[in-house]
Amino acid sequence: MDFVEARNLPGHVGIIMDGNGRWAQLRGEPRVAGHREGALAVRRTVRAARRLGLRALTLYAFSEQNWARPEEEVDALMQLLREFLLSEKDEILDNGIRLNAVGNLGRLPALVRAVLDPLRHESEQNHQMTLTLALSYGGREEIVNAARELAKAVAAGRIRPEDVTSDALRAQIPSLSVGDPDLVIRTGGERRISNFLLYGLAYAELYFADVLWPDFAERDLFAAIASFQARERRFGLVGSPSGDPCASDAAAAPTDSAPANGSAPLTRIAI
């Protein structure tokens, strides 16, 4: 039996939710059926992450490139997003979850923004966990936007060229407001990151699962976290003599990506 240690959790987990379409095709159903089942997997995952005590969870829900999909599929996805936000509103608020969103949100239809924006505002003082939805999102686009803002600041004389540092760029990247991702999970059997959290991904641990997203369950999240906890994160430094992953993390981890429960006593949760 595998275990998850409650004291060595990743602080920020990102998930590339892949496989909805293939899940539906395997069952002879339309792609929208896979997206609907995928929404149920989102609910399960958010609940499991909150119970486990994760500080931040970022879900890749819709990319900038996804707008090129057939119009009927995009419309169905936007309607499902609206339904999800409406159905999960009470659970988000009652459990102290702060809802965040990153990406080119101006492209989202009014029917989504009418629900998304008020819920973000209503939950902004919650602190139990930050749930970020990456919507109309692209990692390259996010970096370009950040660089453009710094270029404007230099051109206007507000900062000097030498003030354009990695920290200055980071400050302009919305997806990193909760810190770098410690662990990025991709479902669906693919082995790529598909333009997700590119700047923050520099030292993230990657976990690829063969399970299609609609079938992703609590045990799959726990398996990914157990894999994370078995690794020694060195951040370019020399590993600890003992090979203890916890010892390496304590010495090397940047402060903005430190595990949320780093000081908790050792507790093992069975998968």
Which of the residues are catalytic?
18, 66
> CB under 8 Å to 102, separation ≥6 — which residues?
58, 132, 133, 134, 135, 137, 142, 174, 175
d(CA 46, CA 8): 19
Helix (H) or strand (E) holding 119: helix 110-122
Amino acid code (one letter) for 40: L
Q: To which residue do tokens 């998850």 refer?
A: 4
Helix (H) or strand (E) holding 40: helix 31-52
d(CA 33, CA 7): 38
d(CA 192, CA 58): 17
